[in-house]
Amino acid sequence: MLLCVSASLQAAPRPVRPIPAIERVVIISIDGLRPDRLLLADTPVLHAMVKEGAYTFWAKTTAVSITLPSHVSMLTGVTPGKHGIEWNDDLPLSTIVYPYYPTIFETAKLGGYTTAMVAGKSKFSPLTKPGTLDYVFLPEKNLDADSLVADEAVKAIKQIKPDLLFVHFPCVDRAGHHFGWGSSEQLTAIALADVAVGRVLAALDEAGVRQSTFIIVTADHGGAGKTHGADDARSRHIPWIATGPGVRKNFDLTQLADLELRTEDTAATALYLLGAPLPMYLDGKPVLSAFDNVTK
Ligand SMILES: [Zn+2]
């Protein structure tokens, strides 16, 4: 387990946020969650978020549709060809290779925010550049229960109430590789992931910060058969469900025919809400259509 809690990072003055009522951002990724499976599974927490927020079940992950490159795109706002993390394993190297572009954790730290990442797979180390995260949990071996990730996310919220938190649940993908996307076993895994998301939301409630938090639930890819990959619509489509102050209620973003939501937009939206400058190199754009009263 890699765990660090750093109190020594210097806090800078915070930028002006465009929606002041949003004080923090939580991004939850359910690995391998294909949107139609989410809708079929017993997912009361996610269904409640849909009613409470803006959503689409037609968002798109990266063209490669695999875990590590797609998560790095989700958390940097640039495509795999630009961020350079194009492999999908723990590399047998003595030093960790980091993306060519800053993660949202790095940018948020520069803005004086506290940052945390809790992930269920060991290969996420390229997202842990020193000095960018106040709190990190990475397992030595991939976790085999999303409840274990929820335990760690709850700890992170209790300990530091991070302004930017990323949580990764691995077991829907695991069920897909073992039993298949479309299997009943995977529906069971999705129901358990829903419970785990509910525990994160409850921890935010308990910490008294849920009402000032923007939350996105999304995924890194879907799948078909027992695998996932490039050029397959079943792998490429991901859910994107957002809730928080100022977010449109029960709003299906596919009402906007011109909006094609991509995983890089998750990073851009987080940066926008934290008042960070949006660099020209970003491939993502903030999903302004998810909000009431924001100039689109
Ligand atoms: Zn994955």
Span from the CA of 180 to the centroid of ligand 1 (angstroms)? 14
Span from the CA of 32 to the centroid of ligand 1 (angstroms)? 5
Span from the CA of 196 to the centroid of ligand 1 (angstroms)? 17
Span from the CA of 66 to the centroid of ligand 1 (angstroms)? 6
Span from the CA of 127 to the centroid of ligand 1 (angstroms)? 15
146-160 pLDDT, tens digit per residue, is 999 999 999 999 999
Span from the CA of 220 to the centroid of ligand 1 (angstroms)? 5
Span from the CA of 232 to the centroid of ligand 1 (angstroms)? 14
The mean per-residue pLDDT over the stretch 228-243 comes to 96
Of 80, 51, 111, 101, the residue nearest 274 (C-alpha): 111
Predicted local confidence at residue 7, as pLDDT: 46
Span from the CA of 168 to the centroid of ligand 1 (angstroms)? 10
Length in residues, the chain: 296
Q: Torsions phi, psi of 242, nearest 5?
A: -125, 135
Instruction: List Cβ neighbours of 163 (8 Å cut-off, separation of 6 or more).
Output: 23, 24, 25, 108, 113, 114, 115, 274
65-109 pLDDT, tens digit per residue, is 999 999 999 999 999 999 999 988 877 666 888 999 999 999 999
Instruction: List Cβ neighbours of 117 (8 Å cut-off, separation of 6 or more).
Output: 105, 124, 127, 128, 133, 135, 136, 137, 138, 165, 166, 167, 168
Residue 198 has pLDDT above 90, yes or no: yes
Q: Hey, what amino acid is at 21?
A: A
What's the predicted TM-score (pTM) here? 0.95
State what percent of residues in the chain have pLDDT above 90. Answer: 88
Span from the CA of 291 to the centroid of ligand 1 (angstroms)? 28
* CB-count exposure of residue 229 (10 Å: 0-12, 13-18, 19+): middle
Span from the CA of 67 to the centroid of ligand 1 (angstroms)? 4
Please, are residues 221 and 33 in contact by the beta-carbon 8 Å criterion? no
Span from the CA of 221 to the centroid of ligand 1 (angstroms)? 6
Span from the CA of 144 to the centroid of ligand 1 (angstroms)? 14
The H-or-E segment that residue 167 falls in is: strand 164-169
Q: Which residue has the higher pLDDT, 40 or 97?
A: 40
104-146 pLDDT, tens digit per residue, is 999 999 999 999 999 999 999 999 999 999 999 999 999 999 9
Span from the CA of 182 to the centroid of ligand 1 (angstroms)? 16
Instruction: List Cβ neighbours of 288 (8 Å cut-off, separation of 6 or more).
Output: 272, 294, 295, 296
Q: Hey, what amino acid is at 196?
A: A
| CATH level 2 (architecture), domain 2-6+23-290 | 3-Layer(aba) Sandwich (3.40)
Predicted local confidence at residue 104, as pLDDT: 98
Which of the four pLDDT bands, split at 50, 70 and 90, describes residue 2? low
